């Protein structure tokens, strides 16, 4: 570096230390200039606040319980994948790949993208890690964020969350039925009253024949189609059946139905799926125009909807899935059948909030430690760790000095017992135990506090 360059740097350094606040202060408390606005979350993203967490914990716990009940092992795949994975797996002319993916080229020349769904990633992992050599079927589940550059609206975000279950390596229709049963039980376990719609897309040949019949029908209605639907007619005709244009419901009423074009094997497969659902008592609706939005589906497809007073929520799918017998081969593996489903946790959370606006608090404790004075605070701090290590549910408010304020917190956290330690108790080696229901108090030996509280809580002690 030249002397001309180094001199101004020395001046800036000198001025900084003499006239400006220390660097840590600037980093943690930068000055807000006049006219500056606080930074907001990126459009289409959101924070999941502490008040949201009880709903999310409820969903995660239920998903984990279903996975355990039905023998699904957890798999976590990267948020970023090779872009070609989704071109091959999801489909090049789908809305997801054409319009909604976040993708870019890295400095090293790799074309990558944020995952818009998880099935293709799980299928890639199945192939890459040789899971074909494991006992089949391989049952996998995952939960986490997905990303789509979509128009933000109620219950739909650009970063959204899904819980997904995949069963790879078995073609029997009982797999399709059990996936519907698993998702039904998961949603019911959350207190929802869901409705499932089912259909069959048949094999690739019957699907192609149906697609040709659909194109022939909608070409005769081309003048009534929106510009977006005219593009779908050329690129991906089945997506016309998902169109939300106002006149499409009327046009669909006269459109060909997939069931009339199914091959015999697909018909028999679908009938067995329905028979299994009838056996368990899962209520379903046949929807001849249900196609799903991804190219990899074959045979059974299904979607879940909520019974809700919110019309927009009631018309938005909570999730769905189906069979994808061609996906593993598309990704470079041997021909391997598969099926799965994904549930949209954002929409489910919205429904849970609608049903239960004030979820039960999750911060209830058995014991609360209250303290008076610095000596009491130090003693209570150590005692807190003893209780915590012993596995007892214990709370505190060490930053509060007022006993009244601490007792209010103990009540809010529904503590059964409060232990009070002040200077006198420290000097005496004792602690005051208050029964929060009766208000009675007693004095115990502080060294035996854990033992005494376990006895009061009816826990086994040695």
Report DSSP letters for 394-422, one per residue: EEE-TT---HHHHHHHHHHTT-SEEEEE-
How high is the pLDDT of residue 7?
43
pLDDT at 309 over 70: no
pLDDT at 295 over 80: no
pLDDT in tens, 377-396: 999 999 999 999 999 999 99
Give the strand order in the sheet containing 367-371.
Answer: 394-396, 367-371, 417-421, 430-435, 441-445
| Dist CA 81 CA 189 (whole Å) | 33
Contact 363, 395 (CB under 8 A): yes
Which ranges constitute the DSSP H helices of 318-402?
Answer: 327-330, 345-355, 373-389
How high is the pLDDT of residue 20?
45
| Dist CA 124 CA 89 (whole Å) | 9
Instruction: Determine the average pLDDT of the residues in 269-287.
Output: 96
pLDDT in tens, 319-343: 999 999 999 999 999 999 999 999 9
Instruction: Determine the average pLDDT of the residues in 120-129.
Output: 97
SS3 at position 73:
strand
How high is the pLDDT of residue 254?
87
| Dist CA 268 CA 274 (whole Å) | 10
Query: If 0-12 CB within 10 Å is exposed, 13-18 middle and 19+ buried, where does residue 231 land?
Result: middle
Q: Which of 15-24, 200-209, 329-338, 411-420 has the lowest mean pLDDT?
A: 15-24
Average pLDDT, rounded, for the chain:
88
pLDDT at 37 over 90: no
pTM listed for this prediction = 0.82
Q: Name all domains of the chain by residue range, CATH numbers in brackets.
A: 53-203+263-355 (3.30.930.10), 367-456 (3.40.50.800)
Strand ranges for 12-170 from DSSP E: 73-74, 80-82, 103-105, 111-114, 138-147, 159-168
Confidence of residue 130 (pLDDT cuts 50, 70, 90): very high
| Dist CA 89 CA 328 (whole Å) | 9
pLDDT in tens, 42-80: 999 999 999 999 999 999 999 999 999 999 999 999 999
pLDDT in tens, 159-211: 999 999 999 999 999 999 999 999 999 999 999 989 999 999 999 899 888 88
**Residue 353's CB: how many other CB atoms inside 10 A?**
15
| Dist CA 377 CA 219 (whole Å) | 79
How high is the pLDDT of residue 242?
78
How high is the pLDDT of residue 21?
47
Instruction: Give the CA radius of gyration of the chain.
Output: 30
**Sign of the dihedral through C-alpha 383, 387, 388, 390:** positive
């Amino acid at each position: 570096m030249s002397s001309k360059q180094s001199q101004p740097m020395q001046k800036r350094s000198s001025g900084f230390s003499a006239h400006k606040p220390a660097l840590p202060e600037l980093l943690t408390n930068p000055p807000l200039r006049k006219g500056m606005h606080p930074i907001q979350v990126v459009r289409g993203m959101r924070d999941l606040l502490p008040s949201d967490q009880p709903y999310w914990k409820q969903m995660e716990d239920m998903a984990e319980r279903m996975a355990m009940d039905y023998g699904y092992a957890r798999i976590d795949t990267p948020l970023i994948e090779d872009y070609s994975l989704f071109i091959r797996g999801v489909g090049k002319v789908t809305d997801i790949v054409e319009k909604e993916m976040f993708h870019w080229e890295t400095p090293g020349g790799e074309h990558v993208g944020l995952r818009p769904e998880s099935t293709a990633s799980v299928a890639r992992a199945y192939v890459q890690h040789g899971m074909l050599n494991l006992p089949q079927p391989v049952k996998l589940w995952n939960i986490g964020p997905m990303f789509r550059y979509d128009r933000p609206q109620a219950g739909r975000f650009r970063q959204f969350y899904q819980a997904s279950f995949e069963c790879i390596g078995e073609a029997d229709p009982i797999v399709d039925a059990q996936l519907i049963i698993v998702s039904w039980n998961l949603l019911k376990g959350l207190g929802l009253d869901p409705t499932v719609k089912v259909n069959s897309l048949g094999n690739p040949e019957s699907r192609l024949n149906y697609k040709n019949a659909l194109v022939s029908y909608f070409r005769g209605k081309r003048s009534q189609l929106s510009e977006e639907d005219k593009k779908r007619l050329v690129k991906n005709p089945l997506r016309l059946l998902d169109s939300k244009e106002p006149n499409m419901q009327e046009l669909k009423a006269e459109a060909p139905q997939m069931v009339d074009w199914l091959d015999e094997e697909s018909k028999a497969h679908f009938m067995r799926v329905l028979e299994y659902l009838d056996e368990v008592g899962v209520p379903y609706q046949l929807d001849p125009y249900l196609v799903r939005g991804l190219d990899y589906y074959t045979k059974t497809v299904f979607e879940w909807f909520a019974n809700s007073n919110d019309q927009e929520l009631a018309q938005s799918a909570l999730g769905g899935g189906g069979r994808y017998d061609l996906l593993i081969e598309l990704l470079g593996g041997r021909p391997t059948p598969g099926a799965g489903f994904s549930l949209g946790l954002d929409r489910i959370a919205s429904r849970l909030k609608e049903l239960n606006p004030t979820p039960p608090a999750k911060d209830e404790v058995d014991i609360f430690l209250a303290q008076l004075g610095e000596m009491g605070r130090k003693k209570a701090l150590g005692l807190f760790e003893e209780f915590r290590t012993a596995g007892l549910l214990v709370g505190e408010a060490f930053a509060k000095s007022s006993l009244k304020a601490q007792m209010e917190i103990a009540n809010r956290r529904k503590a059964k017992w409060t232990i009070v330690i002040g200077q006198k108790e420290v000097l005496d080696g004792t602690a005051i135990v208050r029964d929060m229901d009766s208000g009675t108090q007693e004095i115990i030996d502080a060294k035996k506090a854990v033992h005494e509280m376990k006895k009061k809580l009816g826990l086994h002690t040695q």
